[in-house]
């Protein structure tokens, strides 16, 4: 059942004709709202008091989720039913953060390899070559948990742009660098071209490929054909989608960086969120509540974008990672059965670190005519490893700014004399906070966003696990590589390609 066909959708749309959420002040000063619009899971706190809805609509949205039988669908998905119909696949990334994984051959091979290179300490640099889901997750976690990382230095190469790979050649010693070629399909142009350049560089410096390169893929045969020996190939299941794959061997660089204990804590944080997602009733289920707000803002209040602002430099890559996660998963035009969607799915996801963003696009958030629902993410304490005098004060400024912006967005301010200083207010935000940027809480936060994405997809009744939309551009690029005058190209494209 599509969202538009859900009987509760019609009820809510009817009620909305008689409700006005452009001004939030009558709601946000209500003392009771704190208990009814705030949620907690251990030290993770979610505050939706500044969202543009009242208690009645929240209850309707909960009923809407129940009407879709969302809890049953989550159980089916996690138990291995093939919900990715267009690719005839199940969704297996949840099993990668379960304890049972530690008994599998996949885990043992990965752990032995990581332990081996860590104890020998032969490599001063680790370079992950991959793109999209084979890059963004590990890169984001690398930055998020940098202070927990032990040597060696970990670098990421994604783009086909030669600039990055040439920086690696300047910075790294070929005899002391491990390259992880990460490609689920082992057919991604950017990754394979970059890997080829690296293999040539190594050979020029008389370093054998299988000493300095390993592959992570779900197509073992392709990696073997490429020249990798079997023991250097780390497999991921084809049922783990690229953008959900950082928990698999795709996250080898995370494991190397964190070491086993911290890596297991990272998985435990995610597992704790999964258990909540599976077991908690809809009323208090944080990923489902936040997914309902995605739908509420997108489809009922017609807000076509969603902004993510982490108030911690550690999460500087989080908006880019979440952008792939949500927009590749839910940027769909048809439902699970291939019928055209009657109501649009994924909003545009964008964002940047705060407070930096306050000195940039927050002008738009406060006074632009388009409304951007905003997630404000903030650890409540500075990292215990940061010890310069006054660091607490700096961190307090982060917290103060985070709350000040949420208040300003929601409350607004009227200036009857100077319209330039008028703030309409009524701009919704959710504050997500946790104690400290530890592996456990970063794991929990990542799993939260994954589960919001999945729950939203279930409410829209779309397939959040395929990505056919990326294929057409790749096909045309292939054709052009073979023939710049391909008969299907437009005259403008031919002119562009043939200019000197
Ligand atoms: O082009 C999109 C995409 O297929 C993503 O879904 C994926 O994360 C990325 O490319 C990289 O794919 P692979 O891991 O197969 O190289």
Plot region of 338 (φ>0 → left; ψ -120 to 50 → alpha; else → beta) = left
| pLDDT at 453 (0 to 100) | 98
Ligand 1 atom nearest 217 alpha carbon: 14
> Cα dihedral sign for 414, 419, 422, 428?
positive
Phi-psi sector, 50: left (phi>0), alpha (psi -120 to 50), beta: alpha
Instruction: Find out whether 51 and 86 touch, Cβ atoms under 8 Å.
Output: no
Q: Which among 330, 427, 413, 426 has a CA at the least distance from the CA of 374?
A: 427
CATH pick for 93-259 out of 3.40.50.10490, 3.30.950.10, 3.40.1010.20, 3.10.50.40: 3.40.50.10490
- Residue 179 has a pLDDT of 98
Q: Is the CB of 243 under 6 A from ligand 1?
A: yes
Asked if the model's pLDDT at residue 121 lies above 90, the reply is no
List, for residues 170-222, the tens digit of each pLDDT value: 999 999 999 999 999 999 999 999 999 999 999 999 999 999 999 999 999 99
387 pLDDT band, cuts 50/70/90, is low
Tens of pLDDT along 389-440? 778 889 999 999 999 999 999 999 999 999 999 999 999 999 999 999 999 9
Catalytic residue chosen out of the listed positions 190, 326, 328, 352 = 328
Q: Which of 471, 31, 92 is nearest to 274 (CA)?
A: 92
C-beta of 138 in contact with ligand 1 (< 6 A)? no
Alpha helices by DSSP H, listed for 46-132, are: 55-67, 70-78, 105-120
Domain map (residue ranges) of the chain: 3-67+280-464, 93-259
Check whether 457 has a pLDDT greater than 80. Answer: yes
Secondary structure element (H or E) that encloses residue 431, with its range:
strand 429-434
Give Cα separations from 237 to 139, 158, 240, 248 (angstroms): 21, 22, 6, 9
- How many residues are recorded in the chain? 500
| 328 labelled catalytic | yes
Q: Is 14 a catalytic residue?
A: no
CATH assignment of 3-67+280-464? 3.40.50.10490
- For residue 355, say if its preceding peptide bond is cis, omega within 30 degrees of 0: yes
- For the Cβ of 129 lying below 6 angstroms from any atom of ligand 1, the answer is no
Rounded to whole angstroms, how far apart are CA atoms 147 and 145?
5
Q: Find the catalytic residue in 82, 196, 342, 474.
A: 474
The answer to whether residue 99 scores a pLDDT higher than 70 is yes
Task: Give the model's pLDDT for residue 342.
Answer: 98
Backbone phi and psi for residue 359, each to the nearest 5 degrees, phi listed first: -95, 20
Q: 274 CB contacts (<8 Å, ≥6 apart)? A: 78, 94, 97, 447, 451
Q: What is the mean pLDDT of residues 1-7?
A: 97
Q: How far is the CA of 141 from the centre of ligand 1 (A)?
A: 18
Q: Is 270 helix (H, G, I), strand (E, B) or coil?
A: helix
The residues near 61 (Cβ < 8 Å, ≥ 6 apart) are 8, 12, 53, 292, 293, 295, 296
386: confidence class by pLDDT, cuts 50, 70, 90: confident
- Distance, CA of 205 to CA of 213 (rounded, Å): 14
Report the SS3 class of residue 378: strand
- For the segment 127-175, what is each residue's pLDDT rounded down to a tens digit? 999 999 999 999 999 999 999 998 778 999 999 999 999 999 999 999 9
Residue nearest to atom 16 of ligand 1 (CA): 183
Q: Are 269 and 443 in contact (CB under 8 A)?
A: yes
Is the distance from the beta carbon of residue 467 to the nearest atom of ligand 1 less than 6 Å?
A: yes
The candidate with the shortest Cα–Cα distance to 374, out of 430, 322, 291, is 430
Count of beta carbons in the 10 Å neighbourhood of residue 424: 16
Ligand 1, atom 8, lies closest to the CA of 133
Find the mean pLDDT for residues 469-481.
94
Q: Give me the pLDDT at residue 410, please.
A: 97
Please give the pLDDT value at position 314. 96
The pLDDT, as a whole number, for residue 193 is 96
Residue 388: pLDDT over 80: no
Which two three-digit tokens encode residue 136? Answer: 């963004």
Bridge partners (DSSP) of residue 177 are 125
Cα gap 157→129, rounded to integer Å:
5
Ligand 1: which of 215, 242, 331 to mutate, most ligand atoms within 8 Å of CB? 242
Q: Specify the pLDDT at position 331.
A: 98
DSSP string, 157-225: E--S-HHHHHHHHHH--GGGEEEEEE-SSS--HHHHHHHHHHHHHHHHTT--HHHHEEEEES-HHHHHH
CA separation for the pair 81, 83 (Å, rounded)? 6
Which entry of 204, 206, 359, 500 is annotated as an active-site residue?
Answer: 359
pLDDT for 274 beyond 70: yes
Side by side, the strands of the sheet bearing 125-129 are 153-157, 125-129, 177-182, 213-217, 233-235
Q: Is 17 a catalytic residue?
A: no
Cα–Cα separations (whole angstroms), residue 68 to 57, 187, 282, 342: 17, 37, 11, 16
Tell me the best of 93, 134, 217, 332 to mutate to test the pocket of ligand 1, counting ligand atoms within 8 Å of each CB and taking the most. Answer: 134
Q: What are phi and psi of 93, to 5 degrees?
A: -65, -25
Per-residue pLDDT of 37-87, as tens digits, reads 999 999 999 999 999 999 999 999 999 999 999 999 999 999 999 999 999
Give nearest CA residue, ligand 1 atom 6. Answer: 242
């Amino acid at each position: 059942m599509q969202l538009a066909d859900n009987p509760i959708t019609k009820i809510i749309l009817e009620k909305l004709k008689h409700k006005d959420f452009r001004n939030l002040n009558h709601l946000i000063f209500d003392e009771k709202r704190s208990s009814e619009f705030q949620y907690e899971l251990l030290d993770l706190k979610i505050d939706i008091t500044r969202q543009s809805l009242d208690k009645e609509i929240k209850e309707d949205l909960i009923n809407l989720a129940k009407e879709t039988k969302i809890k049953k669908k989550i159980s089916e998905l996690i138990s291995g039913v093939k919900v990715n119909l267009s690719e005839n696949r199940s969704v297996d990334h949840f099993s990668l953060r379960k304890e049972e994984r530690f008994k599998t051959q996949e885990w043992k091979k990965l752990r032995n390899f990581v332990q081996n290179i860590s104890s020998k300490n032969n490599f001063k640099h680790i370079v992950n070559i991959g793109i999209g889901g084979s890059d963004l997750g590990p890169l984001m976690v690398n930055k998020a948990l940098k202070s927990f990382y032990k040597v060696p230095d970990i670098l990421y190469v994604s783009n086909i742009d030669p600039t990055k790979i040439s920086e690696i050649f300047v910075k790294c010693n070929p005899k002391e660098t491990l390259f992880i070629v990460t490609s689920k399909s082992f057919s991604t142009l950017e990754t394979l071209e970059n890997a080829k350049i690296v293999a040539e560089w190594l050979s020029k410096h008389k370093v054998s490929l299988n000493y300095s390169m390993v592959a992570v893929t779900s197509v073992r045969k392709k990696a073997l054909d490429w020249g990798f020996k079997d023991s250097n190939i780390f497999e991921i299941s084809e049922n783990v989608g690229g953008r959900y794959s950082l928990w698999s061997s795709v996250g080898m660089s995370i494991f190397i960086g964190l070491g086993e204990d911290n890596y297991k804590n990272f998985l435990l944080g995610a597992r704790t969120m999964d258990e909540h997602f599976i077991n908690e009733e809809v009323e208090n289920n944080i990923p489902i509540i936040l997914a309902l707000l995605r739908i509420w803002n997108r489809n009922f209040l017609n807000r076509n974008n969603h902004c993510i602002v982490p108030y911690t430099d550690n999460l500087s890559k989080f908006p880019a990672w979440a952008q792939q996660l949500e927009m590749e998963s839910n940027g769909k035009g048809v439902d699970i059965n291939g019928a055209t969607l009657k109501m649009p799915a994924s909003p545009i996801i964008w964002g940047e670190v705060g407070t930096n963003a306050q000195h940039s696009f927050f002008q738009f958030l406060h006074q632009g005519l388009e409304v951007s629902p905003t997630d404000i993410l903030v650890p409540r304490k500075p990292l215990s490893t940061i010890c310069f005098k006054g660091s607490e004060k700096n961190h307090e400024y982060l917290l103060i700014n985070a709350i000040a912006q949420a208040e300003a967005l929601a409350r607004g301010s009227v200036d009857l004399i100077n319209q330039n200083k008028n703030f309409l207010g009524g701009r919704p935000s959710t504050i997500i906070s946790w104690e400290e940027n530890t592996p456990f809480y970063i794991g929990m936060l990542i799993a939260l966003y994954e589960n919001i994405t999945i729950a939203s997809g279930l409410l829209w009744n779309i397939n959040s696990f395929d990505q056919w939309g990326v294929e057409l551009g790749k096909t045309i690029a292939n054709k052009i590589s073979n023939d710049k005058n391909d008969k299907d190209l437009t005259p403008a494209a031919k002119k562009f390609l043939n200019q000197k």
